[in-house]
A and B are shown apart, each in its own frame.
Chain A
Amino acid sequence: MKFLRQFAARIVGQSIRIFARAITAVRADWKGIEPVPRQRVYFANHTSNADMPMIWSVLPPSMRRTVRPVAAADYWLKNKVRAFVGPEVFNCVLVDRRPEVKDKPMDKIIAALDEGSSLIIFPEGNRNMTDDPLLPFKAGLYNMGVARPDVDLVPTWVANLTEIMPKGEIIPLPLICTVTFGEPIHVREGESKDDFLKRASNALLAQRPEVRT
């Protein structure tokens, strides 16, 4: 039974990847890092539910196997399909954002890092529904950087998803989605939380592809 579920998870994962490639021709731009298996935290902008599958789809297989997206438990445990796709296909680290729960999100994240996994996180905390390119970052990224200073924090910009599927529209447009990976950053010695989060936010904005319109 366990074997069957794993097999099904692989099939679903491949289907998602092929679907993403066929519709949006999603591709990676390795601007600041090489596509090699190294422990990293990919921190990305968040405008749509498709952000995480897009990043996941462009990673080569060896990196995809060791990467774990950090995602909200309330979203991924809502029904049986999501409870299968989130934890088993994407191997998500599910965190509970409610303040009253006992197992703190950061403990789970650090535990995943100590297992050697790479992570995908969305430091804005929520989907960005505004016209600003980024919302202010939450403290999580800084805490990770302080707790595990060896891990590379890689700014990862997912472009065009807002045009592919603007809020309130039903039909997605098959436009090309680009995932740009920038140069890794680390928390500097003595750097304050706000300074670091500002720097991380700028590093992420710098990965935005320039298109003149």
Chain B
Amino acid sequence: MTDTMTDILLLTIGSFGILIALTFVGEVLRAREEPGFVNPVLDTYMTRVQSWWGMVAFVGFALIMGRIGVMVLFAFASFAALRDFLTLTTKAQADHLSLALAFFAVLPLQYVFVGLGWDGLYAIFIPVYAFLLLPIVSALRGNPDRFLMRVAETQWALMIAVFCVSHVPALMNLEIDGYGDRSLLLVAFMVMVVQFGDLLEYFFGRRIGRRKIAPGLSPKTWEGLLCGVGCAMLIGALLSWITPFGVFGAMAMAGVASLVGMFGSLVVASIKRDRGVKDWSHLIPGQGGFVDQLDSVIFAAPIFYHLTKYFYT
């Protein structure tokens, strides 16, 4: 067994350990409830823990399968996220072909380019080629009604759900001196610091949060945000052994990723507010759709990718 594989197994087992602890706490609380009384907060918590079990199992399994596993997992995540997003955007029948191309051509091609490691192409494929070509396809059908809205929203969907999400597996393409084939672990590192940062932000926000960051938009508070980012940095330091960054580098990278991710979920909340929905969809019990669950990872991924590329390769 290679070193990388041992580390991945350790991380997966560690995450399962945390989940067992969380499930145990929930079950104990549930057992202590009065019979016949249902606590909605505890119920929500337990549904979320169940979803996390699924996610850890999926991501752990994908990482153990290696490069291909991670590619396939995130390609499916992109598909689900794009479906959530495009269900809510402005569209007309004139966009049918360009939307079909977005699903069945742009999305698979982006992942093929990531898989082949053509970093020059996957960095510009959606921001340049899809951006210019899909509106042409829509314009050819000759319906100018709300045209700018339609093409802009489709492009946003592709940027968020495909371009940004594909930068998670793209981390595996980074060739870092002295890090060898361990770049798979960067995926685990980024996903873990961002997700745990989110979770702790939520926890501390509930406990000690006072000043809202964006009142009327989201319950997120400055106190929660600071604690969340701080915890993400601590977790980054604890996990620094799987990264090429060193302890302080890992803290800085974890902090940046977590901060960008938290502000990213504010952006996603604004989009949801604009469309008058609470969640993108109902695919993941207790968490809404894929975009709801991945919002912070989505925003963090390209930044994390480019910072790593700039400073460490």
Question: At the interface, yes or no: A213 with Cβ under 8 Å from chain B?
Answer: yes
Minimum CB–CB distance from B272 to chain A (whole Å) comes to 11
- One of A63-71, A86-94, A165-173 at the interface: A165-173
Nearest first, the 10 closest Cβ-Cβ pairs linking A and B are A176-B87, A171-B100, A166-B93, A175-B87, A213-B90, A212-B276, A169-B96, A174-B83, A173-B99, A176-B281
> Which of B87, B91, B274 contacts A212, CB < 8 Å?
B274
Q: Are A210 and B276 in contact (CB under 8 A)?
A: yes
Residue of A nearest to B149 (CB): A213
Q: Find the B residue at minimum CB distance from A160.
A: B87
Query: Closest CB-CB distance, B124 to chain A, in whole Å?
Result: 26
Contact with B along A20-44 (1 / 0, CB 8 A): 0000010100000000000000000
Can you offer 8 A-B residue contacts whose CB atoms are under 8 A? A27-B282, A171-B97, A173-B86, A173-B100, A174-B79, A175-B83, A212-B275, A212-B276
Tell me the complex Cα distance, A144–B76, Å. Answer: 45
B277 within 8 A of A: yes
Residues of B with C-beta under 8 A to A211: 88, 275-277
Given the complex of chains A and B, what is the CA–CA distance between A174 and B81 in angstroms?
Answer: 11
Select which of B90, B91, B103, B274 is within 8 A of A174 by beta carbon.
Answer: B103
Q: Which residues from A are CB-within-8-Å of B83?
A: 25, 174-176
Q: Which residue of B lies closest to A29 (CB)?
A: B282
Mark out the residues of chain A between 190 and 212 whose CB falls within 8 Å of any chain B CB in the assembled complex: 210-212
Bound complex: CA of A12 vs CA of B268, how far in Å? 39
Q: Indicate if A163 sits at the interface (CB-CB under 8 A).
A: yes
Residues of chain A contacted by B80 (CB below 8 angstroms): 25
Majority secondary structure, A binding face: loop
Q: How many residues of B contact A (CB 8 A)?
A: 24
Which residues of chain B from 71 to 129 have a CB within 8 Å of any chain A CB?
79-80, 83-84, 86-91, 93, 96-97, 99-100, 103-104
Give the dominant DSSP class at B's interface. Answer: helix
Chain B interface residues (CB < 8 Å from chain A): 79-80, 83-84, 86-91, 93, 96-97, 99-100, 103-104, 274-277, 281-283
The contact of B86 among A171, A175, A213, by CB within 8 Å, is A175
User: Which residues on the A side are within 8 Å of B100 (C-beta)?
Assistant: 171, 173
Closest CB in chain A relative to B142 CB, distance in Å? 15
How far in angstroms is the closest Cβ of chain A from B97? 8
Inside 8 A of A160's CB, which chain B residues have their CB? 87
A25 adjacent to B79 (CB under 8 Å) = no
B96 touches A173 (CB 8 A): yes
Cα(A174)–Cα(B283), bound, Å:
14
Using Cβ atoms and an 8 Å threshold, which residues of chain B touch A169? 93, 96
Query: B79, B91, B276, B277: which contacts A163 (Cβ < 8 A)?
Result: B91
Which of A166, A212, A213 is the most central at the interface, judged by chain B CB atoms within 10 Å of its CB? A213
**Residues of chain B contacted by A210 (CB below 8 angstroms):** 276
Complex contacts, B90 vs chain A, CB 8 Å:
213
Most buried by A among B86, B87, B96, B99: B87
Collect the chain A residues with CB atoms within 8 Å of residue B96's CB: 166, 169, 171, 173
> Smallest Cβ distance from A169 to chain B, in angstroms?
5
Q: How far is the CB of A110 from chain B (nearest CB, A)?
A: 37
B-contacting residues, A125-178, CB 8 Å: 160, 163, 166, 169, 171, 173-176
B226 to chain A, nearest CB (A): 34
Give the Cβ gap from B117 to chain A, nearest Cβ, in Å.
28
- A193→B89 CA distance, assembly (Å): 39
> Across the interface, which residues of A come within 8 angstroms of B97, CB to CB?
171
Distance of A210 Cα from B100 Cα, bound (Å): 24
Q: Bound complex: CA of A163 vs CA of B88, how far in Å?
A: 11
Q: Which residue of B lies closest to A209 (CB)?
A: B277
Query: Which residues of the partner chain A approach B79 to less than 8 Å between Cβ atoms?
Result: 174
Q: How far is the CA of A176 from the CA of B86 in the complex (A)?
A: 9
Given contacts A169-B93, A210-B276, is CB(A25)–CB(B86) below 8 Å?
A: no
Please, how many angstroms separate the alpha-carbon atoms of A160 and B84 in the complex? 12
Chain A residues contacting B276 (CB-CB under 8 Å) are: 210-212
Bound Cα distance from A211 to B89, whole angstroms: 9
Residues on B with beta carbons closer than 8 Å to the beta carbon of A25 = 80, 83, 281, 283
Tell me how far the C-beta of A143 lies from the nearest C-beta in chain B, rounded to whole angstroms.
36
Output the least CB separation between A55 and chain B (Å). 17
Closest to B150 in A: A213
B103–A173 CB distance below 8 A: yes
CA distance A196 to B97 in the complex (A): 41
What's the Cα separation between A19 and B192 when bound, in Å? 32
Determine the distance from Cα of A210 to Cα of B278 in the docked complex, in whole angstroms: 12
